[in-house]
Amino acid sequence: MKDDVLNSASGLVYSTLLAIVPALTFLFSFFSGLGVLEPLLSFLSEALTELAGGQTSEQVMAALTTYTKNATTLGIVGLVSFLLTMVLLINKVWSVINRIYRSAQSTNPFKRFMGYMTFVIITTLLLALYVSVQSVFTDWYLNLIGYSVGPWSVVIKKVIPVLIIFI
């Protein structure tokens, strides 16, 4: 093809598969620091059960739980390297899209890097906010129908308004 789209697409698939593990590690470590890892894991468990069924979901969640326990013990060097991997993936996607649409590339790499970092951080915060809000509404619904809820829901209810104001 004229724009070499097939080679670009295969390169993006390869890069995405290589970057998905560091991206998940960064997200799990970040969510663990915010204290919303458990609601995220329960949300993923429900989604996997709907998609793949009970037995497959249990196997994937067992591997994911082991993986998240390892990911939450990362140091700052690990987090920075994983963040850099995510930024490099976004840069590759951006350059391939620019090549396909024949648009001019920006000459300031620092400005692009800061834009990517902002994108990664805001996306992570919005995902954490979504998981927190979903867990609060789930806890509210469970209280409404008579089930008991853990003490973390009180903490999350106080953190969500601060995050919404921050964003």
Residue 145 has pLDDT above 60, yes or no: no
| Percent of all residues in the chain with a pLDDT value above 70, rounded to a whole number | 68
Where exactly are the structural domains of the chain?
A: 5-166
**What is the spatial distance between Cα 158 and Cα 132, in angstroms, rounded to a whole number?**
11
The dihedral through the CA atoms of 23, 26, 29, 31 has a sign that is: negative
How confident is the model at residue 6, as a pLDDT?
A: 81
The per-residue b/e assignment along 16-42, b for 16 or more CB within 10 angstroms, e otherwise, is eeebeebbebbbbbbbbebebbebbbe
> Is the pLDDT at 146 greater than 60, yes or no?
no
The whole-angstrom separation of Cα 153 and Cα 80 is 30
How many angstroms separate the CA atoms of 30 and 79, rounded? Answer: 9
As a residue count, the chain comes to: 167
Per the structure block, which two tokens stand in for 31? 């969510």
Greatest CA separation for the chain: 63
Give the residue-averaged pLDDT of 45-55.
78
Of 77 and 88, the structure prediction assigns the larger pLDDT to: 88
Q: Highest-confidence range of 84-88, 141-145, 148-152, 155-159, by mean pLDDT?
A: 84-88
Q: Angle at which helices 109-145 and 152-166 pack, to 10 degrees?
A: 140
Give the contacts of 70 (CB within 8 A, at least 6 positions apart). none
The pLDDT of residue 139 is: 59
* Residue pLDDT, tens place only, 104-129: 766 677 887 788 778 877 887 787 77
What integer is the mean pLDDT of 10-29? 75
CA distance 107 to 41: 41
